[in-house]
């Protein structure tokens, strides 16, 4: 089942993967993996979550938000007993592949993660940003 805030988009994705679409939010107990692909919970609205904590009944929660690294959604999911994955890994993997695509060279192992962490630490030291 594919759930999305925009039912038409859910139907498009569901068609691609041979699934059905349904209205957001997913009912408790109806999912194993929840992937948040929205900016909900990203700086500056770090106290927001796309789902209430009571709805976090699945096995895995993957939040593509990376600033802050531990979002309200991930925090609630951990407390609910879900396994969690943050968005930094996706950001780093995309940067790695984009660098290769544009330059036809592979960056040194760890360089993209180091750059991302360095930049996020700059946000943390700036009172206008939260990490």
25-71 per-position pLDDT tens digit: 898 899 999 999 999 999 888 999 999 999 999 999 999 999 998 99
Give the chain's domain count: 2
75-124 per-position pLDDT tens digit: 999 999 999 999 999 999 999 999 999 999 999 989 999 999 998 888 76
14 shares its domain with 60: no
CA pseudo-torsion sign 65, 71, 75, 80: negative
**What is the rounded CA–CA span in Å between residue 36 and residue 72?**
12
46 shares its domain with 92: yes
pLDDT of amino acid 129: 47
59 shares its domain with 4: no
pLDDT of amino acid 120: 87
Which of 60, 58, 66, 57 has the alpha carbon at shortest distance from 39? Answer: 66
Asked if pLDDT for residue 127 goes beyond 60, the answer is no
């Amino acid at each position: 089942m594919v759930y999305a805030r925009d039912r038409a988009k859910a139907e498009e994705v569901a068609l691609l993967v041979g699934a059905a679409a349904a209205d957001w939010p997913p009912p408790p107990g109806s999912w194993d993996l929840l992937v948040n692909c929205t900016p909900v919970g990203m700086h500056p609205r770090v106290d927001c979550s796309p789902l209430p904590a009571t709805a976090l009944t699945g096995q895995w929660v993957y939040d593509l938000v990376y600033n802050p690294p531990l979002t309200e959604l991930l925090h609630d999911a951990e407390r609910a007993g879900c396994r969690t994955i943050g968005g930094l890994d996706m950001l780093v993997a995309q940067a790695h592949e984009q660098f290769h695509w544009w330059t036809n060279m592979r960056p040194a192992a760890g360089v993209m993660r180091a750059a991302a962490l360095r930049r996020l630490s700059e946000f943390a030291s700036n009172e206008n940003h939260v990490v």
